[in-house]
Structure 1
Amino acid sequence: MVSSMRNVMGNALRFLYGQCFQPSAADDSLGHHGVTTDNLGVSALAHDLYNFEITSQVPQRLSQHVVSTKKTQANWYKKLANAWRKSKPPPKTPEEASRLVIQTLKKLQKADVEGLLAFYGLPLPQTLVELSHGAPQSDPAGLKFELHTIAVDAKAVADGDTITVYVNTSDTRELSNVPRKVQAAVVQRSEARAQRNYERADELHQQIIDSGYRVIPVQNEQILARKYRIRLRGIDAPEGEMPYGQEAKEELTKIVDNKCLRVLVFDEDRYGRSVGDIYCNGIFVQEVMLKKGLAWHYKAYDKRPELDKWEREARAKQVGLWAAPNPEMPWEWRKDRREGR
């Protein structure tokens, strides 16, 4: 029975290890040296849990970071391996892995928890932000329509407050609005591809793209999707050339990459972008950006008190852009550029 359970656990972690961690020929010790690059820490932890299931051994160098004995450390890894297997989906980001460690080992003394997290380069408890979970159950006032996107491509993130998304035209709201010329181009493109006339197929696809649509492969199927540019409602992130502009873009990319989003659209701005609230796996994206100090509450256009509260909390903690004593506001930065200052 024990052997059977060990095989089940080993298979589960072996799959996870195969998905998350591919050791380099140049460095087969990854996971034993306190990595700090974003997803390497997650992969290293997955690798060490897999290794523990086979050998019952914890990383040799871990004792340099924690005060507990090897026997106690082995108990941690046993609990973590079990928690990792039960998590659906398993952690993919450093924040998710850190939360799993903290929750699973919540009875440990602070020094050991922080030492274990530091060993894998994972965020420490004091750097994690507490987030609300769950999108609104009823339609908020002013809601115009709702979108459910297909998985977002990381390249679709323009900056810390703007992304491009695609919605399957089989969606009820979209189906009746596809222009006839787009429908015709989709049929003709399919025929051209069947005849291996790929040059003509590419021309037709460009016509589809120019009309605001795209044919996208999803799970071995070609689907027609409509393009929407989304401006995150109520926040203004630093521009790319500003301090923390790249950090804001990277954070938004990390949140939405390869995720299907729920977008509540309230307005359209002068650039033709849909202005909306974005939810990703129940997490309110604007909340993350504000609490991590990677955006301002855009008070001129949004009066929601919770957004103001989240900005004030980030200011008080001096996280992100609030580490600077007087960060420049992006709307003032844009105004200066327009006026040539």
Structure 2
Amino acid sequence: MGNALTFLYGRCCSAPPESGGSLGHHGVTPATVGVSALAQDLYNFEITSQVPQELKQHVVSSRKAQSNWYRKLSDAWREARPPPKTPEEAARLVIQTLKNHQTADVEGLLAFYGLPLPAALVQLTYEGPPLCPEGLQFELLTLPVDPKAVADGDTITVYVGTTDPREASCVPSDVQVAAVERSEARSHRNYARADQLHQHIIDSGYRVIRVNGEEVLARKYRIRLRGIDAPEGQMPYGQEAKEELVKIVQGKCLRLLVFDEDRYGRAVADVYCNGIFVQEVMLKKGLAWHYTAYDKRPELAKWETHARAKGIGLWASKNPEMPWEWRRERRENNRH
């Protein structure tokens, strides 16, 4: 299945004794049950064609049917880019892959691995962006996102490779020269000169990033998620909003539909990630407001309304402070 499964398999099998507890029915410690356990069992299935013996206590279908599930899951896991890293991502992969199978079997399989059941997941309605959305300026495909590049629940810094057709003709000549000279300096182990050249590249709005073992010259973009406003970091649920956005985008390549630029120079964009419309997740989990001052889309209003009705996230409070009001109050205080 590739490096992702073999890496997780190795970690499961080499769990240290101090991680606590005896080995469970997956052959892993309680700390690694979940995504790692599923990865381990899929890896074992590819080698032995055997499914876990204890699974029969959790599902209703035959061993032959179970083998069919694991074959499908193995293929789906291999095709995922990147493979699931969180319990929610793994649960969604299982649910999507086995969507035509019995509910009792799907839920039993999820329970066997301690993964979230369908009822615990936010139900998403993503059908892909419209073909030619009104106001679209351009589209970007990013390199994998560094989790440290998520500033808060509605702002991300991303990089787009300069081999992208839109970027290729826009790279300043001094940046191109600096990238070549940096590579030569590194080959001669002149790392001080290489760092100096890289700093010039960074100051120009670019960076050399290592992707799959290769160095890529990439352009920096700061992205503001269109149509939502998440709590600021110092506000209630500000940290939760940031952590949720990190969970969604970390290590993934994003599809960005850019509509505008705000007064801070950020590209205002709809963000799509592995078949997920990121703004939908943030609104449905109650970790952002629909920013009606700048966006009138009815679906965003509906997603916020549903989260409010369920008391999810920040809507657990009766009257949560709106981030634009919070920012305005602090601006006024700073004037005095």
Q: In the TM superposition, what is the alpha-carbon distance from 1:74 to its structure 2 partner? A: 5.4
CA distance in 2 between counterparts of 1:305 and 1:167 reads 31
> Quick one: which of 72, 77, 83 aligns to 2:72?
83
SS in 2 for 1:266: strand
Give the alignment's TM-score, normalised by structure 2.
Answer: 0.83
Structure 2 residue aligned with 1:273: 266
Query: What do residues 282-326 of structure 1 show as CA deviations (whole Å, max 9, x unaligned)?
Result: 321111111121111001111111110111111222222222222
CA distance in 1, matches of 2:175, 2:240: 38
State which drifts further: 252-261 or 82-91: 82-91
User: What per-residue deviation string (whole Å, max 9, x for no partner) do you get for residues 215-254 of structure 1?
Assistant: 1122332221110000000001111222222221122112
Corresponding residue SS for 1:141? coil
Matched, 1:58 2:49: no
Which of 114, 133, 137 is the matching residue for 1:144? 137
**Unpaired runs of at least 5, structure 2:** none
Alpha-carbon offset, residue 151 of structure 1: 1.3
CA distance in 2, matches of 1:20, 1:247: 27
CA offset at residue 262 of structure 1? 1.2
The aligned residue for residue 289 of structure 1 is 282
CA distance 1:127–1:177, change in 2 (3 Å): same
Secondary structure of 2:220's match?
A: strand
**Alpha-carbon shift at residue 83 of structure 1 (Å):** 2.7
Q: Which moved more, 1:191-200 or 1:299-308?
A: 191-200
Distance in structure 1 (CA, Å) of the matches to 2:8 and 2:28 = 17
Percent identity between matched residues is: 62
- 1:29 corresponds to which of 3, 23, 30: 23
Q: Assess, with a 3 A threshold, how the Cα gap between structure 1 residues 132 and 102 changes in structure 2: closer, same or farther.
A: closer
**RMSD (Å) for aligned C-alpha atoms:** 3.1
Q: TM-score when scaled to structure 1?
A: 0.82
Q: Secondary structure at the match of 1:327?
A: coil
**Displacement of 1:154 after TM fit?**
1.3
Distance 1:325 1:154, change over 3 A: same
State the alpha-carbon separation in 2 of the partners of residues 175 and 290 from structure 1: 35
> Aligned pair in 2 of structure 1 residues 77, 93: CA closer, same or farther (>3 Å)?
farther
Structure 1, unaligned runs of 5 or more: 1-11
Alpha-carbon separation, structure 2, partners of 1:304 and 1:36:
44
- Equivalent pairs, count: 320
Q: 1: distance between equivalents of 2:281 and 2:30?
A: 21
* Letter of the structure 2 residue corresponding to residue 84 of structure 1: L
Aligned partners of 1:35 and 1:121 also within 8 Å: no
Pairwise CA distance, 1:278: 0.9
1:330-341 maps to which residues of 2 (within 5 A)? 330-340=323-333
Given the alignment, which residue of 223, 242, 255 partners 2:248?
A: 255
Q: CA deviation at 1:31?
A: 6.5
Judge conservation of contact 1:83–1:100 (CA < 8 Å) in 2: no
CA distance, structure 2, for counterparts of residue 295 and residue 327 of structure 1:
11
Contact between 1:31 and 1:120, CA under 8 Å: does it hold in 2?
A: no
Amino acid at match of 2:70: A
Separation in structure 2 between the aligned mates of residue 33 and residue 243 of structure 1, nearest angstrom: 40
Distance 1:325 1:48, change over 3 A: farther
Aligned CA distance change for structure 1 residues 138 and 117 (closer, same or farther; 3 Å) = closer
Which shows bigger deviation, 180-189 or 144-153?
180-189
Deviates more, 1:172-181 or 1:133-142: 133-142
Given candidates 144, 163, 173, the residue that maps to 1:180 is 173
Q: Which stretch shows the higher mean deviation, 295-304 or 240-249?
A: 240-249
Q: Aligned partners of 1:192, 1:292: CA distance in 2, in Å?
A: 48
SS of equivalent to 2:53: coil
- Comparing 118-127 with 309-318, which one deviates more in the overlay? 118-127
1:300 matched to 2:293? The reply is yes
Q: Which whole-Å CA distance do the structure 2 matches of 1:191 and 1:164 have between them?
A: 28
CA distance in 2, matches of 1:198, 1:223: 18
Shift of 1:132: 3.0
Whether the 8 Å CA contact 2:26–2:33 is kept in 1: the answer is no
Distance 1:17 1:204, change over 3 A: closer
Report 1:1-341 matches (<5 A).
12=1, 17-21=5-9, 22-23=11-12, 24-26=15-17, 27=19, 29=23, 40-48=33-41, 57-59=52-54, 77-87=66-76, 88-89=79-80, 91-102=84-95, 104=98, 106-109=101-104, 117-340=110-333
Give the 3-state SS of the residue equivalent to 2:175 in structure 1.
helix
- Distance in 1 of aligned mates of 2:256 and 2:272: 6
| Residues 30, 254 of structure 1: alpha-carbon distance in 2 compared, 3 angstrom cutoff | farther
Is the 8 Å Cα contact of residues 168 and 225 (structure 1) preserved in structure 2?
yes
Amino acid at match of 1:320: G
